Each structure stands twice: as structure tokens, then as C-alpha cells.
Amino acid sequence: MTTATNTGASQRRTSALTTGHLPRFSELIVLGCAAAVSAGVLALFGFSVTGWLVLTAVVYLIVIGVLSGVVEGRRKSTDRVVRGLVVVAFLLALIPLISTLWTVVSRGIGQLSWSFISGTDRTTFDPTTLEVKVVPGALQAIIGTLEITGIATVISVPIGLLTAIWLTEYTQSNNPVRRVITFLVDVMTGIPSIVAGLFAFSLFALIRGPKEAFSGFSASVALCVLMIPIVVRSSEEMIRLVPHELREASYALGVTKWRTIMRVVLRTAVAGLVTGVVLAIARVIGETAPIYIAAGATNRLNTDPFNGPMSTLAVLSYTGYAFPNDQDKAASLLEAWGSALLLVIIVVILNLIARVVATAFSPKARR
Amino acid sequence: MSKRIEATDLNVYYGDFLAVEGVNIEIEPRTVTAFIGPSGCGKSTFLRTLNRMHEVIPGARVTGEVLLDGDNLYAPGVDPVLVRRQVGMVFQRPNPFPTMSIRDNVLAGVKLNGGRMSKSDQDDLVERSLRGANLWNEVKDRLDRPGSSLSGGQQQRLCIARAVAVQPDVILMDEPCSALDPISTLAIEDLIEELKKEYTIVIVTHNMQQATRVSDKTAFFNIAGTGKPGHLIEYDDTSVIFSNPKVKATEDYVSGRFG
Amino acid sequence: MRAALRKPPSKAGDRVFLGLSTASAWVILLILAGVLVFLLVKAAPAIAANWADSSQLQDRTAGNTAGWNSFWPYVGPLLFGTVWSSLIALVMGTPVAIGIALFISHYSPRPLAGVLGYLVDLLAAVPSIVFGLWGVFVMRDFLKPFSTFLNSYLGWIPLFGGDLSVGGATILAGAVVLAVMILPIITAISREIFLQTPSLNEEAALALGATKWEMIRMAVLPYARSGIVSATLLGLGRALGETMAIAIIVSPKLIYSFQLLTDNNPGTIAANIALQFSGSNELQRDALIGTGLMLFLVSFAVNFAARWIISQTAPGGRRRRRKARTA
């Protein structure tokens, strides 16, 4: 064996491991060219950002597919095109997210003022121009949102939490009732929200008569139907994460079962439980349809959750758009965007709280 | 069909962590080479660099050279996909594709190339590969059953048949018998003896008897302590390693004094 | 006699606690049954009524039940519209959702995967009314050029035919927004299952010389097949019950139509309820509740099927298998 033959073999056989392959960064270069070409083409027909992005993606996928197909073969080409498609899919999901948030912020921000959140709708009459102007207010909706969601939370959390405890601590996994309930809870998470609203309306229409059916409490009941399954699922998952050794240690000390659950299991899982509840609130606070059906809508301030229609921010946003004030339609639309933005802000804050609680009190951080 | 492997100054990193350092080894065609050593010594890691399977783990990288009949696996422009077609691998646990039939499992690698194969060519290849894996007689009547219906030992031989079907030059085996019972182990060891006639075989094993039974040459890997890189300590004929090793650590290990 | 072992003091506490938690579990079953029973009781008068002779139902100044002979022809077009709009949303949303899930599970750099997944989950947090307003003011205009193009060049396909909507209040616009709204749930479930694919199978495919996409086709997708099916069904369930996107983006009517780009669109049950409820008289409301009952039954069946598939197949189900890792 001489070195010479070895090198010769190496020269000849390199083709055994290398195929034709595109140079590094060729994907980026193709992407750049695709963007430039698309911009050029669109400049001829009228430029728009979305059109440019779409055209760039299409041109990129075609060019990289053909180029790679010629140089690297069909398998590599398919691989590259799929990679491109998958990235496009992800970006496609970001566009509505950004666009929605941008739209609601840019259209609603002008509406956020102290008078908007501290009062209800007021009309002003200008005697010189004879013009009626509506000064929008969302106080009734803010109060309604807080009361309706608050009552729903107060009812849902104990029921949901206790059910989760029953499922995890008091039953074996082969218990038929447990299996039925876990299954139905999963199915319940998919109940259309408007059906929950109809249920609450039917319930109170039968109890109190159809004229008296609308109330904030009725809407809370509707939200409970949506919220309880969410709380059960998240609590169940969190309680299951508590190591079994902790329970055994507590039992070994002679502590009774319910005290063990309260003092050891729930206390260990508390961060996860709180996170789950906050996310459940964030999920139902933005519901429109069930509240509109069960509590109706009103522009007047009503603080009594048991009598008369109530509004929430989501409902105000809907009615502001769908049933505008005849005297000042523009003001109603602004009101719709303003309350939508207020709602988004609340949801974002709730999500942030959930995340902060989850990270700050996670078992990992405490150890 | 069978190729020679040479590694020179090979280092393997996981991120910043140096896992295996400075391996130089030459593996002859049509031989069985066993890698032995205590857990965590880097023998499996090194094995995976021989067909670039270590790249599956994020952050893993290699410096140095691995030559397959003189072609560097790590030369620029080398396609890991092509490397793996020539250097097949059998894993610790049998891993047939659960949703595919026995027949489709054998053909899985071949079908990737997309070349149209006639039904009879496919049948021939399935039979040849399964016979090559000493499995034909056991499964010939149920080729359409899922691969997961077989016993563990049969599944492992199915995986070997699947690796053989793409006609590689080298077959790497990462503790292929560690999840199997003694009878299945024996069947695999007999099979390795057969496969040696056509392939270069590299096998990682924890079982020193197995190394003496199946291998022509043995490489002993060791590690100085946790967090330190693994090294190739000694590489020689199997008979020498187990009867008359040159390094003290090898002797301690093969005589059961540690590891 | 075990005199030494005194009765623990809080045995009563144990019993109360067990009673409370058991009762809560049964309350959930009660609620589910209650939804069915109350909808049924309240809707029964409208379903059973003789529509042609009912002055309330034929009242043309309120609701939209006038002109129908009975409940069933009234609910028919609504059921059709509900299923049709959901299917369009599903056709557009599912491939994208699976693409996103694959991106997060197999293509994105690992440290980023969590953040990217969170971004997609954020979509689920946006209230539906916000998506509705966004659909009206952004998506309608955005789709107009596409609609014009499809209508003028591909108008011979019935789907794109008909009189092009000027305002953009088409079922296409509604379905696109619906598709966006069901992305998170389909993505979340598929992603979870893709991540559970045994790495042994992935490595087997790679060791045979598969490219990344071939590995996904050989190992990941077959493993996740039933999970993808149930994720899609759950997405369908969401789309069926979504109210606001259709109610305010589309201009719904009680018709059967497959045309995507016109002003004559079939309405959905949920949207019809939201739009008609406040203006309806009592019996008309009962009829709307009847349509709601139909929606409940359909979406319950879809969700039931989805959960059933998940619970029958181990991957992605409750029994999570540990990923086997080789040393």
C-alpha cells in the first residue's frame, strides 16, 4: 500500500460520497433574488406588501425546486421545497396575528381615554351647528365584564378543581365513571360557545319567564359551561405532576387524606393551578356570543348581575359595529374598536400573568 | 462491496463538550471489529460518526477525518444521505417501522431511491435480504404482517435485513443484542459471522464474551473520569486484547477488574 | 381490639372532602345533560309547531322564520352553511397547521421551538370578536383582488362563479378567518404528536439514507396519522361552533349555495342565532334554540369522534410514552 495509490483512489472515488450540490447560502441567495425579481415585477403592476411577500415565496419555491432538481436530483429538490413550504406555513400564521393586533391597536388607541372607561354613552348637542355628537363610554361593559367573568370564575374554579382532585386522587385509572367523565370533559371543551349561551337562556327563561331571562348571572352560567372543562383539564394535568413520593411521605406521618391533598398536593401544584385558572379566564373573557344571548346588551349602567341585561367589552364591540347608534355611526364604530382594544389588553395582561406565575413559581425555580 | 475505514485524529464535540478525543483507527474490509469499554467512554458516539448519525443530535460536530476507502466523510460537499446509504446501521433496540409490513420494512431503504422496481425484483430482493438475515424461513408466510408483530430477536434481524437490502459497504451495529434474550443473541451472532463475508462490520458491545466470539479485532475505549473525553486506548487482534494486552487499563477491563 | 389506634380526629373532614369532590364530578355530567335537556324543552314548542299557521312564526316584522313550512326546511340551509363554511376553512387551514407543526417540531432550531409554539398559541388567545372586526375591515379588502381574479378567469368553475360581491362579504372571507381561528388547535395537537415520534424510528429512517422529508414521511407521519385525523376533527368542531367570524364578515341568507365569491351566502347556525336572537319574538327564539340544539348534536358528534380516536390510539393519548433514547 503506497500513499500514491491511496490518493489516486481518493480522487476517483470522491464521487461516491458527493453529489452535485448547491453552494452554501444558495437558499439565501435565491431568496434574495426572488424578492428582488418580485419587487420588480410588482413595480410594473402596482406594488403591495402582501402581494410582494406572496410572489417572493412562490418564485423562491419554484426556483429552488428547479435549481436543486437539476443540480442535486429529485430527492434533494423535494426536501428543499418541503422545507420552504413549512417555513412559509409558519410565516403565514404570523401574518394574521400581527395584522390583527396592529389593526386593533391602531384603530382603537385613539379611543382609550379616561372618559371612555369612566362613563357610559353620553350625547352632546351643539346648539350652533345643531349637531348631535355621541361621546362613547364603556363603563357598563367594563363592570359587566368583571362581574360576569368574576362570578363564572367563583363557580367554575371550585367545581373544576374538586373534580380534578376526584379524578386524580380518589379514583383508579380503570374506574369506569372516571373514564366516562374524563372523556366527556374533553368532549365538553369543544361545545360551541353559543350553545352554552342558549342553555343559560333556556334555563332562566324556564325558571323566570322569557321576559326576565336576561341577566349577568345567566351569562356567568353560560361561561361556567365553557370554563369548567378547561379548569378540570389543566388542574388534572398539574396535580398529576406532583410526585407520588410526596403523598406517601405525608401519609407515613399519619396525615389524613384530605389534609394531604390540601397541604401537600395542592400546595405543590399551586403555581400550575393558578396558571391554568388565569388562562381559563383569559379564554372566556373574550367570549361574545354566549353573553349576548344570555345577558343581552345595554348601553346603560347595570351593576346588579341578577336583574336586567348587561354588556361586556366583547358584546359592546359587537353591538357597536352591528347595531350602531343612528345619531352617530362613526362614534359607535370607534366604540367597537376601543372596547376591542381594551379587551385585547386585558387578555394580554392575563396571559402575561399566567406566564409569570408559571415561570416564577415553577418547581424547578424553587429547588 | 466491502470497504475499509480509516479515522485520523478524530474529535467529537457536543456543543463545547469534547466527548471523544484523538481517535486513530484502521478497519479492514471483510472483518468484524468490536468496540468495547465502560459506559460513557464514547464508543457509541464514535461509532455514530462513521456514518454521520451523530449529527441527529443538535450541536454535535466532528473534527478530523474519516476515510471510507479513501473518501473523507467530512470533506466539504459530502452528502450525509449518501454516506448513510453506504454505511448502514443497526441500533440497540430493534426499530422496525411500526406501520409498515415486514416486506415494506425490508424495502423501505430501497424505495427511497424511487427507481421503479418490478414486483418480481422486489420479491427477489426481499427474499435475498431476509435470507441474508436468517429470517426468511420464519416469516416467508406472513410478509404482509406488520413488522412489530415479530419477536424482539426477529425484529432485530428484520432491521439487519432492512440495512442489508440497500447493499451498503459497511454495517455498524450499536449493541445490537443488548435488548435480546440469549437465544436471539446467538442467532444474531451467527448472522454476523455470515455477514462478515460480504461486509465490513463494526459492533459496539458491552458483552466481552460476545466480542471474543464474533470479532477479529477489538478496540478498547476508556474515559479518565466523568466530564473528560473518551480515548481509544488499545486496538489489536481480539485474541491479543483478551489474552495479552499491552496496556494495563485494557487488562484490568477485560479481566473484569473494573467497568 | 385496637385500643391503641385511636380514631383520627378528622375522619369527618375526609368524608366531607370526598363527598364534595365526588359531587363536583357528577355536577359536570349534570351540566352536560342539562344542556341537552333545557335546549330540548325550550325548543320543543317551535319544532312541534305548525309553522304555516303560527302567527308568531310568520311574523315578517321580526326574525327570519316567516315563509317556512316547518322547522326542518328552516334549519336545513343553516346546517348546510355551517358544514360548508367549516369544510372550506378546514381545507385551507389543515395543511398550513400541519406545516406549522412540522416546522416547530422538526425544522426550527430547538431553543426557538418553545417561543414559536407560544406565538401560534397566542392566535388562540385573540377574542373572536376581534378576529371578526379584523375580517370585516382587513380581510374583505385583502381578498378582493384575488376574488376578482378568480371570478373573471376561473368563473366557469361553479365554486368561483356567480355575481362577484362588491363589498367582499363573501363566505370565502369568513372561511379564511375561520381557518386562521382553527390553526392553533390543529397545530398544538399535531405538534405534540410529532414530538412524540420515537426517535428510534426517526434514526432508522435516517440510517437508511433518508433525507429529512423522507424521514418525516417514513417515520413521523405514519406514527402521527390518527393524531392528525383527530386534530383535524377538533378543528372542525371549533369551526362549526364559531359565531362571530361568519356573523359579521359574511352576509348570510337561508339558501343552499356553493358559490364562494358572491353576496348570496348560506348562513351558519351560530351566526344566524347571533344575528336574529335580539329581534325575534318568543316562538322564533325557540326555533333558534332548536337550531342551536342541532348545532350541539353535530359538534358533539364531531368532538366525540375526535376524542375517541385520540383515546383509542396510544400515541398522543393520555398514556404518554417515554421517548426511548440510545446511550
* pLDDT tens, position by position, C229-274: 889 998 998 899 888 888 888 878 888 888 888 888 888 999 999 8
Mean pLDDT of chain A: 83
Quote the radius of gyration of chain B (alpha carbons, Å): 18
Number of CB atoms found within 10 A of residue B174's CB = 24
Q: CB of B92 within 8 A of CB of B174? A: yes
- Chain C residues with CB-CB distance to B99 below 8 A: 222-223, 225
Summary mean pLDDT of chain C: 84
SS3 at position B174: strand
Q: How far apart are CA A230 and CA A233, in angstroms?
A: 5
Look at residue A228 in the predicted model and tell me its pLDDT.
93
Out of A128-132, A207-211, A321-325, C154-158, which region has the weakest mean confidence (pLDDT)?
A128-132
How many angstroms away from the CA of C102 is the closest CA of chain A? 7
pLDDT at site B167? 85
Indicate whether C293 pLDDT > 90.
yes
Distance, in Å, from the CA atom of C257 to the CA atom of C282, rounded to the nearest integer, reads: 29
What residues form DSSP beta bridges with B230?
A: B20, B223
Q: Of A118, A96, A124, A97, which is closest to residue A338 (Cα–Cα)?
A: A118
Q: Is residue C248, in this structure, part of any structural domain at all?
A: yes
Q: What is the pLDDT of residue C322?
A: 35
Which pLDDT score is estimated for C5?
56
B57 reaches A (C-beta below 8 A) = no
**Test mutation, C85, C133, C216, C275, chain A, max A CBs within 10 A:** C133
* Closest CA of chain A from C201, distance in Å: 19
Interface mutation vs chain B, best among C208, C220, C228, most B CBs within 10 Å: C208
CA separation for the pair C90, C231 (Å, rounded): 11
Q: Identify the CATH number of the domain in which residue C270 sits.
A: 1.10.3720.10
For the residues C87-95, what does the mean pLDDT come to?
94
**Cβ of residue C128 closer than 8 Å to a chain A Cβ:** yes
A19 touches chain C (CB under 8 A): no
CB C203 within 8 Å of CB B53 = yes
Q: What is the pLDDT of residue C260?
A: 83
Q: What is the pLDDT of residues A156-205, one digit of tens each?
A: 999 999 999 998 888 887 888 888 888 889 888 888 999 999 999 999 98
Cα(C301)–Cα(C306) distance, rounded to whole angstroms?
9
Asked whether the beta carbons of residue A317 and residue C129 sit closer than 8 angstroms, the reply is: yes
pLDDT for residue A367: 38
Q: Provide the residue type at A218 as one letter.
A: S
Among C204, C214, C225, beta carbon nearest to B91: C204
- pLDDT of A94 strictly over 50: yes
Query: At B171, is the secondary structure helix, strand, or coil?
Result: strand
Task: Kindly state whether A174 is in contact with chain B, defined as any CB-CB distance less than 8 angstroms.
Answer: no
Rounded percentage of chain C residues whose pLDDT exceeds 70:
92
pTM for this predicted structure: 0.85
For chain B, say whether C325 makes contact (Cβ under 8 Å). no
Cβ contact A346:A277 at 8 Å: no
Contact C201 B108 (CB under 8 A): no
Give the chain B residue whose CA is nearest to the CA of C224.
B99
Judge whether residue A149 has pLDDT over 90.
yes
- pLDDT value at position C10? 57
Model confidence at C93: pLDDT above 90: yes
ipTM higher than threshold 0.85: yes
C39 near A199, Cβ under 8 Å?
Answer: yes
pLDDT at C321: 36
pLDDT at A46 over 50: yes
Residues A311 and A320 sit within 8 Å (Cβ to Cβ)? no
Is residue C156 included in any domain, yes or no? yes
Among residues A93, A97, A92, the alpha carbon closest in space to that of A344 is found at A97
Does the distance separating the beta carbons of B84 and C209 come in below 8 Å?
Answer: yes
Which is it for strands B170-174 and B87-90: parallel, antiparallel or unpaired? parallel
Cα distance between residue A273 and residue A92, in whole Å: 33
Q: Which residues of C touch B82 (CB under 8 A)?
A: 209
Amino acid at A139: L
Q: How many CB atoms lie within 10 A of CB A52?
A: 16
Mean pLDDT by runs of 10 across the 259 residues of chain B is: 86 89 90 90 90 85 88 84 88 87 88 77 88 85 87 88 88 88 86 88 90 91 85 90 88 79
Phi, psi of B203 (to 5 degrees): -130, 130
pLDDT tens sequence across A51-72: 788 888 888 888 888 888 888 7
Q: Using alpha carbons only, give the angle B214, B216, B221 rounded to the nearest 5 degrees.
A: 90
* C312 part of contact set with chain A, CB < 8 Å: no
Task: Verify whether the Cβ–Cβ distance C21 to A206 is below 8 Å.
Answer: no
Q: Is B141 on the interface with A (CB under 8 A)?
A: no
Amino acid letter for position C279: G
Query: A interface mutation test: which of B71, B72, B167 has the most A CBs within 10 A?
Result: B71
> Which residue from B247, B252, B223, B216 is spatially nearest to B234, judged by alpha carbons?
B247
Nearest one of C119, C114, C116, C105 to C190, comparing CA atoms: C105
**For C234, which residue in chain A has the nearest alpha carbon?**
A190
Place of cell 396519522: C225
Residue with cell 324543552: C41
Q: Which of A169-178, A323-332, C209-218 has the lowest mean pLDDT?
A: A323-332
β-strand pairing of A131-135 with A122-126: antiparallel
Q: Does the pLDDT at position C309 exceed 50?
A: yes
The pLDDT confidence band at residue A9, using thresholds 50, 70 and 90, is: very low
User: Residue C7 has what pLDDT?
Assistant: 53
- Please report whether residue C107 resides in a domain: yes
Question: Does the pLDDT value for residue A87 go beyond 50?
Answer: yes
Domain assignment of residue C58, yes or no: no
Give contacts of A14 with chain B, Cβ < 8 Å: 71, 75
Is C59 a domain residue? no
Containing structural domain, residue C129: 69-315
The phi-psi region of residue C12 (left if phi > 0; otherwise alpha if psi is between -120 and 50; otherwise beta) is alpha
The answer as to whether C255 is a domain residue is yes
pLDDT at C9: 54
Mean pLDDT of C197-202: 88
Q: pLDDT above 90 covers what percent of chain A?
A: 23
When pLDDT is cut at 50, 70 and 90, the band that residue C139 belongs to is confident
Return d(Cα B186, Cα B198) in angstroms, integer: 20
- pLDDT value at position A209? 82
Residue C196, in any domain of the structure: yes
Q: Is the dihedral of CA B241, B247, B249, B251 positive or negative?
A: positive
pLDDT surpassing 90 at residue A43: no
How many residues would you count in chain C?
327
Round to whole Å and give the CA distance between C39 and C289: 6
**How many whole angstroms separate alpha carbon C297 and alpha carbon C301?**
6
> Looking at the domain assignment, is residue C250 inside a domain?
yes
Taking phi first (over 0 means left), then psi (-120 to 50 degrees means alpha), and beta for anything else, what does residue C88 get? Answer: alpha
By Cβ distance, the residue of C203, C223, C327 closest to B56 is C203
Domain count, chain C: 1
Tell me what pLDDT residue A5 has.
39
Q: Mean of the pLDDT values across residues C95-104?
A: 93
Say if residue A366's pLDDT is above 60: no
On chain C, the residues whose CB falls within 8 A of the CB of B44 are: 326-327
Cell of B169: 459497504
- At C27, list the grid cell: 355536577
Model pLDDT for residues A216-261, shown as the tens digit of each residue: 899 999 999 999 999 999 999 888 888 888 888 888 887 888 888 8
What is the C-alpha to C-alpha distance for residues A98 and B237, in angstroms, rounded to an integer? 66
CB pairs under 8 A between A and C: 279
DSSP state of A256: -
Q: A300: buried, middle or exposed (CB in 10 Å: 19+, 13-18, 0-12)? A: exposed
